[in-house]
A and B are shown apart, each in its own frame.
Chain A
Amino acid sequence: MGSKKHTLRVWLQACASQVLLVPLGSWAAPANRGESLFLWPSLQYCQQRLDWLPDIVVGAMGYSSLEQQRQIRERLGRTMLTKLRSDMNLVPPFEPGPVAVCPQGQVLSWLGWEARDQLHWFGVTAAEPLCAQCWEQSRCARQFSYAPAAHEILFGQIPLASAVAKTLLEKVRPWIEPAQAYEKNQLGPNQMFRNSLQFTWAACLLADAAVLLRAHAMLMRPTHTPWLQALLPNQLPLELD
C-alpha cells in the first residue's frame, strides 16, 4: 500500500520575491487513512511543540468536519477555511455561490466578526440596493447577525461568502501545488525505495528539513557588505570604436 504525506505549511510573507511556504509539521500515513484525522493533531502539534498557531488554516474539503471546525473556533480561536462539501446544504442567509442575501433577496456583505458576542454581522453595502423598493424598508436595520454555530463551515470565523475567504480558497490555496511538486519531484522522496512506514517518515521529515534549509538560505542569507566596497576597483568598459 502506498503512503501519503500530510503537511501543514505556513506562508512566510517576509520573502517578497516569491511565495514561500515552509512546513510546520508533517505526518506520513498509509494512504487509506482519512484526511480528517490529521488536521486537529497538526494544530495540537503546533500549539504544544512550536507554541505558535497560524491564524487561518486553508485546506481541502476532506480535512475538516462541522464538529472539528467548531472545536478549532472555540478551543483554539483559529479559523479553518474549506470549501463546502457537495453533501452539505446551504442555510440562510446563504444562496448558491455561496452569497449572503437578506430575506427579501438583497445581496449582503460581511461586515465583520464580533468576538465578544460570537456573532457575524452582514449588511447592505451595495451602491444601489433594492432596499428603496422593499416593503420592509421602514422596519429593517439593514444589518443582520448570525451565530457561527448555525453552520461552522459556512460561517466559521470568516464566512465563505466573504471576499477574504474567496481569495484564500481560490487564489492562495493553489500555491500549495508548486510546493508539493518541488518536494515530490525534485527532492525525490517519491523515487526512493520506501519499504516501510518508518523509512517513509524519515524521507518525509528529511524533505521538510531540506525545504526549511532553502527558506533559511533565502531569508537569512548574509547581507554583510565590506566597508571598503565602494573603494574596490571595478572593471571599466573599454570602448574600441
Chain B
Amino acid sequence: MKFELAPTGTATLLEQLSDFIPDGFINELVAVRGGRGRRRHWPSAQLYRLLLLTLLTPAHSFNLMLHLLPEQRSWRKFAHVPNRYRLPVASPLHDFRAALGVAGWRRVNQFLLAPLLETLSPDRQAVGLIDATDLPAATSADKKS
C-alpha cells in the first residue's frame, strides 16, 4: 500500500510526525533551570511541540493557538499536554523561544537532518538548490485607504 502524508493542518499529520520529534535532545538542549529565580515548569520538548503547532495547524499565531488548545484534543496529544485545564500561557513559550535562540533552532534542525543525509547514496552526486522567498513585513502601510 502506498504511504501518503496527510494534508497539513490535519490531526492525522500530527500523529504521523509526532514520533520523529527529538524530545530527549530538546530537553537536554534547553534544560529546565533549578535554583532561585523565575522557574519554567514546562519541559522544553512540550514547548517546542507547542511552537510547532503554529505551523502544522491553521492557527498561525501563538496566542490563537494557545486560545484554541483546550478545545483541540489532537493538538494537546501532539504537544503531550493532555490536561485541558492545565495548559501553558504565552510567557513560557516566549521564554523558551528566547532561550533556544537561533543557534538552538539550528541544532535541532541539524539533529533532524543528520539521518536524512545518511540516506544519500555516495555513488550519486548530491544536488543542492539555493533560493530565497519573500516574507512581507507585518504592516498595513502599503494598503490603500
Contacts and interface: CB of A to CB of B under 8 A. Distances in A.
Contacts of B110: 49-50
Interface stretch (B35-43, B52-60, B68-76): B52-60
B131 A60 contact: yes
A229 interface: no
Interface bracket on B: 35 or more
B129 A172 contact: yes
A205 interface: yes
A153 interface: no
A130 interface: no
Interface in A203-223: 203-210, 212-221
B140 to A, nearest CB: 11
Contact of A12 (B16, B54, B120, B135): B120
A40 B8 CA distance: 33
Contacts of A213: 17, 20-21, 52, 112
B20 A59 contact: no
Most B CB within 10 A of own CB, among A38, A195, A212: A212
Nearest to A222: B19
Interface string B76-115: 0000000000000000000001001010011011101111
A217 to B, nearest CB: 5
Interface bracket on A: 35 or more
A24 B127 CA distance: 12
A214 to B, nearest CB: 6
Nearest to B106: A205
Contacts of B128: 8-11, 24, 54, 56-58
Contacts of A52: 117
A86 to B, nearest CB: 19
Given A50-B117, A205-B102, A212-B113, A5 B127 contact: no
B55 A187 contact: yes
Contact of B135 (A10, A190, A212): A190
Contacts of B54: 188, 192, 206
Contacts of B133: 4-5, 7, 180, 183-184
A54 B127 contact: yes
Given A172-B129, A192-B61, A216 B112 contact: yes
A49 to B, nearest CB: 6
A183 B110 CA distance: 18
A59 B130 contact: yes
Nearest to A158: B125
21 contacts: A1-B137, A2-B134, A4-B135, A13-B121, A31-B134, A50-B110, A54-B126, A54-B127, A57-B128, A58-B127, A60-B131, A184-B135, A188-B54, A190-B136, A192-B138, A194-B138, A202-B51, A209-B52, A209-B105, A213-B21, A220-B20
Given A7-B131, A188-B55, 13 more contacts: A7-B132, A10-B126, A11-B126, A12-B116, A13-B120, A55-B125, A59-B130, A172-B129, A176-B131, A214-B5, A217-B5, A217-B20, A218-B3
